[in-house]
Structure 1
Amino acid sequence: MHFTSRLKSKLPNIGTTIFTRMSKLAEEYQALNLSQGFPEFDCSPDLQRLVDKYIRSGKNQYAPMAGVMPLREAISKKTYESTGREYHPETEITITSGATEALYVAITTIVNPGDEVIVFEPAYDSYVPAIELCGGIPIFVTLDPQYDSIDWKAVASKISEKTVAILINTPHNPTGNVWSQRDLQTLAELAEKYDLHVISDEVYEHIIFDGSSHISAASIPALASRTFLCGSFGKTFHTTGWKLGYCLAPAALTTEFRKIHQFLVFSVVTPFQFAVAEYLLEPGHYLKLSDFYQQKRDLFLQAVEGIGFTAKPAEGTFFQNLSYQSLSDENDVSLAERLTREFKIASIPVSAFYSQPVQFKTLRFCFAKNDETLLKGAEYLQKVIW
């Protein structure tokens, strides 16, 4: 009997992510991979020993659905010290399978068919599919990849009676921008005025440069009371493969969040939770991260100086955008692919972070790499025939 599939795609316009595609191309052409955002270096040997300790001590069965209590308590303490906001470990903190799950569950918790969500683009690629899977409608505020400020009047003009949430990301991937106190305060005023939820992606909270500070949604009471704050230890501790994240939210929001979380993954890898909980007892393990990455950002920018790129130094994250506006008329996807094939260096075309085809002629490079790799990458870029 011939089977005719009745499958109807829920994401008909979504294909394989640009990160996967560029990494595969880099592997195929044995190119230097400065595309996908993962550190080239390993995590701390002390953290590895803690994982081993907890595996050997028998912490290998299901964790509690909300996460092991020592880790929730450590996150509560860390957040209070940095923001002044106290999240209750029992009722307001949930450990997730990376920040991507936290974001997905937060979106699923509040978005129903027909609801609108304000999204700032360029936007990380998991946001829009999550909204659309819930039947929601993303409403875009489009920014230049090297923007300096946000036009909040333009943001307000996008809000309708169908708007239920605003999704933000600071420090921001892929632009490297860090939102100011004024930005967050203005966001709080809008959220209060229109009774909106906020989903705040803060995975790069400890990677901030040039003496700036990360302003968390948790630090503004009017925001914290309506915000799902999503974080991750992957970027902070060079452990992206562990997929260990968390969501902080007021108790009433967390109750609804957990109803979905429990049926999506239930719980997260147990020994890693205990290991990170103990590792967090020493704040130096994350407070020194900005200096570490600023050195790499500066090294990379110095090394590519003189090629002809225009670069606004990243204020945070471990990504640096380079505009090639004065060098080539190629679109960024074609150029990124050509650089990978012919000059052995892979990057991400920034147009991939937009909902519609745009041409800001900008490539994103990850500098979470060893110094030798960054210097080699700059050397390859010096040889490009424009």
Structure 2
Amino acid sequence: MSTTIAQHDPLSPFIRLTPSIYLVEPRAPLPQSKDIKTIVLSFWYSAPLRALVKYVLKYADLAPSARIIFILSGPRDFYLYPTLASHRLRLKSAVDILIACQEGNKDQPEDGYENNSVYIHLFSNGGLFTTAHLLLAYKHATGKPLPVSAVVLDSSPGRPTPSLSIKALSYALPRTLIIRQIGLALLTTMIWATYVTRKSLALAQNIVWRGSDKNDHDDDVAVYGDDPFAFTRKTILDQDFIVADLPGASLKMCYIYSDSDALVPYKDVEEHAALAASKEGIKGKKRAVVHLERFSATPHVGHMRADPIDMQETRGLWMSLLLNVYDRIEDILLSVEVAYHIHGYLPI
């Protein structure tokens, strides 16, 4: 008798739009106008399927009336799409859904705008990379920024140095020793070559093209030649691409991070949060309401291993920045910690 057991695909219960984009349709009618209609989950680079599915299921349980779009990111999504146009094509199915959600409510009165709301939870620099391209693609398709109620930046953003980039991307390499060593050598060569090239181009631009005007650039976040993720840190704060869901309101942003994160230094996160908090919106109002949730001695995207009592004390302030339907977001994060611990995955 055969003992072979077919492997179950953790993503089989969900609607597959592309190899990296999946959809969960609403499971219940929308009960209140203030409830979120769409949730976007942008997962970290090479996230293990069983771990990310736990997030999806928890959000589906907490917000049964919401449509959930979740986007994976892996080597092919980073390396096989070298241009903005190619990323627009990659994310087209997600953009089409976002557009349909907005157009479906365009005739509603002003007090019903929140029916259009999009809630984003992005993980690490990989999730930020995907989200930034999603915002760019939406703007290209509609000519408008995406209206968003709240953004949770989980272990993000960071300024990846070559050594941190090698460490992060190496988690996606095969476990076989010889193949892994070859892959690591190629990865190291590619990252350092890219780093040197970008720095050289930046230096040439400063010397040859900018001349005396080299300090007149917009130093919001991105600096040319800084790193490949610089544009993502800028895009998530740019009101040309992302705005609050209600006219005149401030975008809610919550940063979840750790002072022990081995891949994203806490100072990078706090620098970005400070910049977000400093930006002016319409009529002198702050463009974003920012809250930082800093943990101690917790790993990358593993911050819910903190003392549950401490979490309970900070829960009220933290969740006041988000909608009430997500007042148990810590349960979402906690539910996946066991998967990381058992399988030895380090999300990046």
TM-score band (shorter)? Answer: 0.3 to 0.5
Provide TM-score, normalisation by structure 2: 0.32
* Larger RCO: 1 or 2 (CA < 8 Å, sep 6+): 1
Larger % of helix: which? 2
